[in-house]
Chains A and B, each alone.
Chain A
């Protein structure tokens, strides 16, 4: 009960007029920053960090948390309306959000994203309140072997995502994983795969360059070419009644996705090296696997929007936990928040919950209030985003191209990456023509940089003995489940003739 009264105090702190104003401004700013391809919460938080010195530390972190949540909601907007995942956390949202928008159901997709985000945020705050100190201990026991096992599981949930042509899907996954290794090898520090010996590759290939290239350029040219420029735009009317109906649909068809996303998202988010992106991907995969109609996923299933969106919001609350209690950031954004706390004179660590309980519970209270505001602000802006989608395609298309290039530059600050982005875009266009699935490559470039170092750290720990993955109590069960899931479609593939008539 003590926790509840602390949380109550925290919420009271958050609803003080100054803090409430900061939450409102932060959420609105975050929403637009997140909706811009290339920019995400990390940019918003980094830029506004110095401004927070004008207000007390408690209010400052509330402001930054509000931007963080706003941007999380905003990420879904660019995934759905533009088809470009603005941040890696929103990749999974494009799988079903974009098809919905192309079917003229953009409003439903946006409402589902907003509602699911809110549900995810709420569940995670409740979990955070109840189990924070316990989970901090669990998070510490996740070493490299456990994280690697988890990444393998994340891949396993995605087998079969790519489509029917298995060699092309395998190619796409491997290609993404290889691209992720370009740059410097984290373990040995040596340069690796510096293609054509160009210095630009020393910095590695960012997820954003690939994702914006593939979705913002490649997919767009493909759409223009394959529809002969006759793109049907969304015609959905915006009425309060419609939004309420969509809310109903979201709960009816997306409740499973939301519950899986909220809980799974939180637990994956809490783990230090993992964070919100694997959380949203795994939630999507698990929801699809457990669905009675998995074939509808990827073609515009509400659950396919609800699951990753509830998961990425839930995980972003979860990733505050390792930051506050262990001092390790679960994401680049929390890394900057961490820097902010140091500047404000707060030491993250196991003692923070005891010594700075006002601050911690004020922050958690503000998570909750931020979430509520983000929902309201997001719903209020849906008409604006729908209006954007109604623009003639010859206006919308150049806007998307420009936003891709400008956003890509904003994120990378290097013209080299912009040229690379174009190459990926044109390459993706041609591969798309020949039915190579591109999503697996985009996922692989996110998960690869977590999977490879943890594999090698584990093997260093065990002196090269792979049994380390199977003789630790947490990693062993995860590994076994992951391997079974990966092998399942392989068995199916070996017997394609017999499987066919059953369809």
Chain B
């Protein structure tokens, strides 16, 4: 009885969905929503937030299923997308490791221009943090402190070649500093290591450092955005210190290489709706992200620019 009923529903459904499929592309199975980082980090939080917005507003006919593939600075995720046999149902939440990992690991044979642009959801700024007990109040004092430590100053981040290490490398180069860099497992662990005084300075996203900032344990000295941030009034930018450098972590969604145009159009529309939702705009505000909406062509151009930037920055790191 049940089987008959199921079949009947199924046939009816097939009959209904066939013409609809011709009119507009719809996902036919759960969407593999790959995340370029492990659970708990910034990218993961964003993916789960997006998933919950889509779920809450019932925006997709098939669910987005988060799938953490953080291994090797996202190399695992890039390979996963590159070798998927169903590009129409595979999308990726990216960080800047989308640019840097293929440059650092040419053996992977990843060409990011083959990926499908979908949406730029926002960019996440960085700030330089120290512990309040260090007594350091300004960036100039910090530079002096690092110089005085003569190579024994310890900083920490999420790993050599990761976003924060790129920023540190630039600063060290620009101000002729030498410090030790200890890699930790994720931005949250970095923030806690600073609060626990295991290390002396970090470059963290505002969201990662927020808990300890609110409690007064850590303080920002410098921001790496283009303009001062409203969350940290009076904290100067690196540009004000005479170096034309700003650095943001991209929070973008891309599709697998070989995604059909129809599917790409569907996801572009979907993420535009999510971007414009009240929830996402509220999230950008709360987490100090800047909106930076781009259409697919602009995204490709942005990728090109970022690849050039990162090639330069990474070659300067050795």
Contacts and interface: CB of A to CB of B under 8 A. Distances in A.
B39 A350 contact: no
Contacts of B215: 349-351
Contacts of B73: 184, 189
B40 A332 contact: yes
A202 B198 contact: no
Interface residues of B, number: 57
State the majority secondary structure of interface residues on B. mixed
A191 interface: yes
A410 to B, nearest CB: 11
B317 to A, nearest CB: 11
Contact of A186 (B79, B183, B212, B217): B183
A177 B189 CA distance: 23
A352 to B, nearest CB: 7
A189 B161 contact: yes
Interface string B270-287: 000000000000000011
B124 interface: no
A457 B196 contact: no
A471 interface: no
A139 B197 CA distance: 12
B188 interface: yes
B40 A345 contact: no
A191 B75 contact: yes
Nearest to B69: A203
Contact of A329 (B48, B71, B152, B188): B188
Of A142, A328, A335, A413, most B-chain CB atoms within 10 Å: A328
Given A141-B196, A184-B73, A189-B161, A347 B211 contact: yes
Given A202-B75, A457-B183, A347 B214 contact: yes
Interface stretch (B50-58, B136-144, B168-176): B50-58
Contacts, number: 152
B72 A327 contact: no
A409 to B, nearest CB: 13
B211 A463 contact: no
Contact of A50 (B55, B159, B161): B55
B160 interface: yes
B69 A187 contact: no
Contacts of A143: 193, 196, 198
Nearest to A54: B56
Contacts of A184: 71-73, 75-76
A452 to B, nearest CB: 12
B188 A327 contact: yes
Contact of A349 (B79, B104, B182, B214): B214
B310 to A, nearest CB: 14
Interface string B194-231: 01111100000001101110110100000000000000
B61 interface: no
A25 interface: no
B29 interface: no
A460 B181 CA distance: 8
Contacts of A188: 160
A326 B185 CA distance: 15
Given A184-B71, A343-B49, A202 B76 contact: yes
A42 interface: yes
B45 interface: yes
Nearest to B71: A203
A272 interface: yes
Contact of B191 (A327, A334, A336): A327
A140 B189 CA distance: 10
A49 B52 contact: yes
Nearest to A333: B39
A487 interface: no
9 contacts: A49-B48, A187-B183, A336-B48, A338-B40, A339-B40, A342-B45, A347-B211, A351-B211, A461-B182
CB-CB nearest 7 A-B residue pairs: A349-B211, A335-B40, A184-B72, A140-B196, A350-B215, A143-B198, A50-B55
Given A50-B56, A351-B215, 8 more contacts: A142-B196, A143-B193, A144-B182, A189-B72, A328-B188, A328-B192, A336-B39, A453-B183
